[in-house]
Amino acid sequence: EYISILKKRRDFCISCINSINGLSVETPEGAFYMFIKINHDYWYNNDKQFCIDLLNKKHILTVHGSGFSQKYGKNHFRIVFLPELNILEKSFHAIDELIKAY
């Protein structure tokens, strides 16, 4: 039952990410987190500042991908999809707002 809930949250996140211009993601198969690619012109090559602004302006905590690896993590950020759907929905709305502001 819990795996079914996690898959529903994962699929919801993928749908939200795909609706935000400037982001893309591959479907995780065995984890409860996602490594989201930043394609947006303003934020490209600045994943750390994106995460800092997301925290300071929208109160959403993520982890910048370049903190994991300068080579493979650059231009990414990591989220977990464990929160309930309403929290995920509010979070992606705020992420979309931040990206659209630039």
Instruction: Give the Cα separation of 78 and 34 in Å (integer).
Output: 5
Q: What is the DSSP letter of 27?
A: P
Q: What are the average pLDDT values for consecutive 10-residue runs of the chain, which has 102 residues?
A: 94 97 93 95 94 97 94 94 96 97 92
- pTM > 0.85: yes
pLDDT at position 84 is 95
Helix, strand and coil in the chain, % to nearest 5: 45, 15, 40
Residue 14, both tokens: 């993928």
The separation between CA 69 and the C-alpha centre of its own chain, rounded to angstroms, equals 17
